[in-house]
Structure 1
Amino acid sequence: MDIDTNLLATAERLFDQDGFHATGMGRLVEESGLSSRTVYKHVGSKNALMARVLAARGDRFFAHADFTSTRALFDSVALWARREGARGCLFFRLRAETGGAVPEIEAAVAAYHAQLHARLAALVRQETGAADPTLTDQLLALFEGATTAATYRGPAVIEAAGACAVHLIERGRSS
């Protein structure tokens, strides 16, 4: 495993498990097995590292998520939660923890949410034949709510939200 891959994987695991503030650079250095000089040379700062972690996680998520249909999307998100753990959205958790005060995290969170919204809007157009901002927001709310509820109800709640989303899409087709 190369230095960047090791560093990002270790940082993602620690930030996801313990949060941004509770994960110090000393612990990251220790658990990655790299020197502090090497870590800082590759990332510059904790904020920059967190932004890279979020970008990489977003890339992994969007590579995994199946936007070919509403059912496929929610099924793929349920599978993600089973594989990755149902701890809620890392983007939301870090945004909440930092209160919007870390520009690097804010930019990464905004980029993720813009991409998610755009993909949901495209999915709505594909499945209903028309743009529908309200339906897009309804799918977004189901998606985000299910991801959060999975933290205490388990990934099956994502499948339940998916059934609701499919119903909304079917209603959108007939309108």
Structure 2
Amino acid sequence: MATTTEAAPTKRGGRGARERILKATVELFARDGIHATGVAKVTEVAQVSTRTLYQHFPSKEALVSAYLARLESDPNGPAEIETVLTRADLEPRDRLIALFAAPAEEALVRGCPFHNTAVEAAGAMPEAAAFVERHKRELIANLIATAEAAGADHPERLGRQLAVLFEGARALATSINDTRPFEDARDLAVTLINDAIGARASG
């Protein structure tokens, strides 16, 4: 009597493969880290062959750079909080303060994926490291421009101070798995903003 064997799942390439690969990297890199996530795991989750992956991304670094670009462009992704600086429905001062809103409670505070990538890419992935540096410098520039629009006496100084507070809150919240550093940073940010803008805008 013939026995039947369960067919092994087949990998799906073709149309939509690139999108599935990018979705897999967003899930895996954020959760497990870049170095801990091998190409084999990405292809497994994305349901593509190794050949298909390398057709779209010729190296792991190219894959990481595409991952960062996806994070930056996703309006609902982890960089979404930074887009508050461009909201037309808020006054400039309110935009600066809104940047320090605590993230939604979750089982694990994952922190900034760009910073996490910079740490993992240091000395090994210059293209990814350059991407992160450019992103962070643009964030500082946006903070300075928003501080200037808010009427700060020294917008460059305020913008840089707020960048330090924001990045520090993210890092500490990740280290202790607690969102309260954002509350402390927000209190300090309000003080810095009011001191820089003056009582005329602190009501």
TM-score surpassing 0.5? yes
One-letter amino acid of the counterpart of residue 127, structure 1: A
Q: Which runs of 5+ in 1 are unaligned?
A: none
Is 1:117 paired with 2:143?
no
Paired positions, count: 172
One-letter amino acid of the counterpart of residue 184, structure 2: A
Shift of 1:59: 2.3
Is 1:42 paired with 2:68?
no
Shift of 1:170: 0.6
Task: Note closer, same or farther for the CA distance 1:64–1:133 as it changes in structure 2 (3 Å cut).
Answer: closer
- Trace 1:33-72 onto structure 2 (pairs within 5 A): 33-60=47-74, 61-65=78-82, 66-67=84-85, 68=90, 69-72=95-98
Q: Is the 8 A contact 1:117 1:140 kept in 2?
A: yes
Q: Is the 8 A contact 1:74 1:158 kept in 2?
A: yes
Q: Is the 8 A contact 1:121 1:131 kept in 2?
A: no
Greater helix content: 1
Is 1:89 paired with 2:103?
no
Higher relative contact order (CA 8 A, sep 6+): 1
Task: Note closer, same or farther for the CA distance 1:74–1:6 as it changes in structure 2 (3 Å cut).
Answer: same
Percent of paired sites with the same residue:
33
Is 1:104 paired with 2:127?
yes
Matched residue, 1:166? 190
SS in 1 for 2:25: helix
Give the whole-Å Cα distance in 2 for the aligned partners of 1:100 and 1:109: 13
One-letter amino acid of the counterpart of residue 97, structure 2: R
Matched residue, 1:29? 43
User: Which structure has the greater CA radius of gyration?
Assistant: 2
Q: CA RMSD in A?
A: 2.3
